[in-house]
Copies of this chain bind each other. A is one copy, B any other.
Amino acid sequence: MSRIDLNSDLGEGFGPWVMGDDAKMLSIVTSANIACGGHASDPETMFQTLVLARDNGVNVGAHPGFNDREGFGRRVIPMSPPDIGRMCAAQIGALIGIAALVGVPVTYVKPHGALYNDMMKHQPLLSAVMGAVASYPADLKLMILATADAKHHHTMARHLGLTLVLEAFADRLYTDQGHLVARNIAGSVHDKAALLAQVKQLLASNSVTTQSGKSLKLNADSICVHGDNAQGVALIEDIKALCSASV
């Protein structure tokens, strides 16, 4: 990993409701995946989050999700791939519209929750998302999961003139194919020691040790972190320290 990037899902409040400590997180991470009014957020929340991102010099990405605030974008809403492309285009545009008011560029897109998971499983959906991002009249990259299929994903993207950003997860166990082991499987979410070990391995060799014990090269550009609570935020500061030490 030549440039150490830490990305996190932020700006996920809605109206009067707060989610996490965005101000703290934006003082740590280097890329912010900012909700766009689909699974979370609204114009005012987007604006306030974008101001914080700008003031912290954090790289801004659009974080579209299913239009389902009640389910926080974690439920698969049945939609065709073209419909999903249109939904993403509208949400990306919404954030970019507000970012223009703030004076901060939006440089990439990372889908959220069930949309992200589905996109990594179903190629027509990934194509639709890639198409929506590539056709947007701004220079946007797409952030997806670094898997064993990365080469194929890069080829798909190149045909659309799109650049991918590959991300790895600090806290999750991987399958041999580079997918995340489902959360309901024992051992799928790392404890602190395993998490920090995985980050060290990513920094040293850009690989992870999979479920079966193999070493899988990821060539990730960014590490995804979650600061859902004070303990999570403290852990990200540990990760940040590892990253700084590795430069």
Contacts and interface: CB of A to CB of B under 8 A. Distances in A.
A71 B15 contact: yes
A90 B37 contact: yes
Contact of A89 (B19, B79, B101, B136): B101
A100 B70 contact: no
A208 interface: no
Contacts of A17: 13-14, 17-19
Contacts of A95: 90, 93
Interface residues of A, number: 48
A201 to B, nearest CB: 32
B86 A90 contact: no
Nearest to A84: B43
B97 A43 contact: no
A70 B44 CA distance: 10
Interface string A31-60: 000000100101110110000000000000
B98 A93 contact: yes
Contacts of A42: 67, 70
Contacts of A72: 15-16
B13 A101 contact: no
Contacts of A40: 16
A243 interface: no
A75 interface: yes
Interface string A136-166: 1110000000000000000000000000000
A43 B93 CA distance: 11
Given A93-B95, A93-B98, A100-B135, 8 more contacts: A43-B89, A43-B90, A46-B86, A76-B78, A89-B94, A90-B98, A93-B96, A94-B97
